[in-house]
Amino acid sequence: MADYSKDIELMKRLNHVYGEFELVNNKIDIMITARMANIEKSKIDKSNELEQEKIRQVKEAIGLGNNVLPIIDECLGILNKVIEK
């Protein structure tokens, strides 16, 4: 693993991936908060806005995940080159 940590490009990409997954985690936290807020309301007072917020956060989390997949592939490519040496 020490050899991997010397690859600046790999470290930059991994840092980017970590940041993107932090954003995904934030989206999940927002979804959970909206869901819990809606659960606590009576059936009459259920908020369509909270449901729409949940849906929006899910879509954004999926988008963030899809956007980071090419960078993960780049990281794996860098690691495979090290293994092949």
- Model confidence pLDDT, tens digit, residues 43-70: 666 778 888 888 999 999 999 999 999 9
User: Distance between CA 3 and CA 19 in Å, rounded?
Assistant: 23
How do residues 1-16 score in pLDDT, each as one tens digit? 556 667 888 899 999 9
Whether 36 shows a pLDDT value over 70: the answer reads yes
The full 3-state SS of the chain, as one line of letters, equals CHHHHCCHHHHHHHHHHHHHHHHHHHHHHHHHHHHHHHHCCCCCCCCHHHHHHHHHHHHHHHHHHHHHHHHHHHHHHHHHHHHHC
- Residue 9 sits in which domain range? 2-84
Give, to the nearest 10 degrees, the angle between helix 48-84 and helix 8-39.
160
Total number of domains constituting the chain? 1
